[in-house]
């Protein structure tokens, strides 16, 4: 009787964790989409400024800023993905072990 209750309890915990993981993933996807939209807007503004300026030095500086922004965004997205993977591994691992006959 106790083992059945224990399994049910662990199953409920696992379902709860899956819901948390899904919510975290959705939030992160929304954040990434917002970041990408902001980057696109910044690039469009810079392109508009670029078209109005014929100064080569300003264009070089603006282009370098665009490259730096893109690199920073890529790094942020990679860090977010790594964090998601770590969170999923931490949350799922102990409970899957218990549910499927682990320790």
pLDDT in tens, 80-91: 888 877 777 766
Token pair in block for residue 8: 């049910």
Cα→Cα distances 28→2, 68, 83, Å: 39, 22, 10
pLDDT of res. 92 = 65
pLDDT of res. 103 = 44
pLDDT, mean over the chain: 72
Dihedrals phi, psi of 22, to nearest 5 degrees: -60, -45
């Amino acid at each position: 009787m106790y083992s059945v209750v224990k399994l049910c309890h662990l199953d409920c915990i696992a379902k709860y964790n899956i819901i948390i993981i899904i919510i975290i993933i959705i939030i992160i996807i929304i954040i990434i989409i917002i970041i990408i939209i902001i980057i696109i807007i910044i690039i469009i503004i810079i392109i508009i400024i670029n078209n109005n300026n014929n100064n080569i030095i300003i264009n070089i500086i603006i282009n370098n800023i665009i490259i730096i922004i893109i690199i920073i965004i890529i790094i942020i997205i990679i860090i977010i993905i790594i964090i998601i993977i770590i969170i999923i591994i931490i949350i799922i691992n102990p409970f899957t072990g218990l549910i499927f006959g682990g320790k």
